[in-house]
Structure 1
Amino acid sequence: MSELSQIKTLLRKEVLLEWRSKYALNGVILYVVSTVFVCYLSFIRIDPVVWNALFWIILLFASINAISKSFAQESKGRQLYYYTIASPRAVILSKIIYNAGLMLGLSIVALVVYSVVFSNEVGDPLFYFLAVVIGSVSFSSVFTMVSAIASRAGNSGTLMAILSFPVIIPLLLLLIRLSKNAMDGLDRSVSYDEIGVLALINLIVVTVSVMLFPFLWKE
């Protein structure tokens, strides 16, 4: 079986497992909605700069909750079974693609709920949505690999936070700057540098994941 076929099969497995349980997805959606509601009760009305930064902070913690158990929830027996039928590159790529789709769905839900609760004018809504899409892919690529590393340790939650910190902070700052440009309605050419850097970071993270995960998978 080719790696492309393996990725498709593993993706279908992830979707079927999520559809059968729904606990993780429903839990994260509840987390997003309740967090937005608590922020509404606390702030009522906020200025655009805080509105933008708060949205990305909510999305960041939602992504941690959604992706942190990507590998931790897999039993030893299931991991051994994957090891015999699929290549490690297919495993990590299927996880990244699935988590990217999951995060994109959660991000759309978060953006809709957040925009309804905290009404705010966005100068370029389409470009702001593009920033959300890029952010979803970025969070999924970083946290998926970190989750794979952390799952090999006993205290995976703490290790995941420590390992992801050096990458996720500059990534978060770039996303806040990119989305702020969209909120202000600036010319899109102003944000090309941020988009280029974000694309480069995603490319590096995915490449490193594909190169290093086979060694981690053998353990």
Structure 2
Amino acid sequence: MIHEIKALLWKDIVLEWRHKYAINGILLYTFSTIFICYLSFEVLHARLDQFSWNALYWIIILFTSISAISKSFVQEKESRQLYYFNLVRPESIIISKIIYNAVLLVALSLLAFATFSLVLGNPVQDPGYFVIVILTGTIGFSTTLTLMSGIAAKADNNGMLMAILSFPVIIPVLLMIIKLSRNAIDGIARSESLSELLTLLAIDIIVGTLAYLLFPYLWRS
């Protein structure tokens, strides 16, 4: 299975490199949104408070994640899916997709954090803990949205269906992330947020396990 996962990961990387318009479009969307936020507060001559900064950042990351992951299974044609069905195990496919999307979202989130801090200031008092929250949060986004993308790919209106299916599932993850990132912004001791961080990790593990167990049945259909 490890060899299958490596081969599938390399395939996704090669395809992404050949079709750079997808990742370039996501980067353009992210930077444009940040720039619009900057212009809005610059025109109003208003200072962005830490709560609004936190909310805006995670709203941008959420919609960037949906845009980035929605193409995970959409770009796979039926003939290619049939080829994968006869070549590799479905568990290898879902694991490779989750890993690839997680790495992509971590890179985009860190880049957005650096850009957001540059143009709108950085109120985070504990940047190291904030980065840990980004890592755990984007992994949760990756596992949840990848599974939803696989489900939505079986329908005709897959883009809209993915957004509808993902929203109620992603809310608990998003609420936990916002609370943890607020603690990092306020500089609260990490020990006081340990239980919430472990809860977020547990959610990531549960969703990842469900994706691993349920995707083979979805793939065979």
TM-based fold match above 0.5: yes
Per the alignment, residue 174 of structure 1 pairs with 176
Per the alignment, residue 21 of structure 2 pairs with 23
TM-score by length of 2: 0.96
Q: CA deviation at 1:120?
A: 2.6
Q: In 2, Cα distance between the equivalents of 1:122 and 1:204?
A: 29
Q: In 2, Cα distance between the equivalents of 1:99 and 1:120?
A: 26
Structure 1 runs of 4+ with >2 Å offset: none
Per the alignment, residue 144 of structure 1 pairs with 146
Per the alignment, residue 120 of structure 2 pairs with 118
Q: In 2, Cα distance between the equivalents of 1:71 and 1:97?
A: 14
Q: CA deviation at 1:153?
A: 0.5
- The one-letter code matched in structure 2 to 1:79 is Q
Per the alignment, residue 156 of structure 1 pairs with 158
Per the alignment, residue 9 of structure 2 pairs with 11
1:91 is the counterpart of 2:64: no
Per the alignment, residue 47 of structure 1 pairs with 49
Q: In 1, Cα distance between the equivalents of 2:114 and 2:73?
A: 29
Q: CA deviation at 1:14?
A: 0.6
Q: CA deviation at 1:167?
A: 1.7
Q: CA deviation at 1:216?
A: 0.7
The Cα offsets for residues 35-72 of structure 1, whole Å up to 9 and x where unpaired, read as 00001111233100110111000000000000011001
Q: In 2, Cα distance between the equivalents of 1:115 and 1:92?
A: 34
What is the count of residue pairs matched by the alignment?
Answer: 217
- The one-letter code matched in structure 1 to 2:198 is G
Determine what percentage of the aligned residue pairs are the same residue. 53
Select 1:211's aligned residue among 207, 210, 213.
Answer: 213
Q: In 2, Cα distance between the equivalents of 1:97 and 1:139?
A: 12
Q: In 2, Cα distance between the equivalents of 1:43 and 1:72?
A: 37
Question: Unpaired segments of 5 or more residues in structure 2?
Answer: none
Per the alignment, residue 193 of structure 2 pairs with 191
Q: CA deviation at 1:20?
A: 1.2
The range that moved more, 40-49 or 85-94, is 40-49
Question: Unpaired segments of 5 or more residues in structure 1?
Answer: none
Q: CA deviation at 1:33?
A: 0.2
Q: In 2, Cα distance between the equivalents of 1:122 and 1:200?
A: 25
Q: CA deviation at 1:23?
A: 1.2
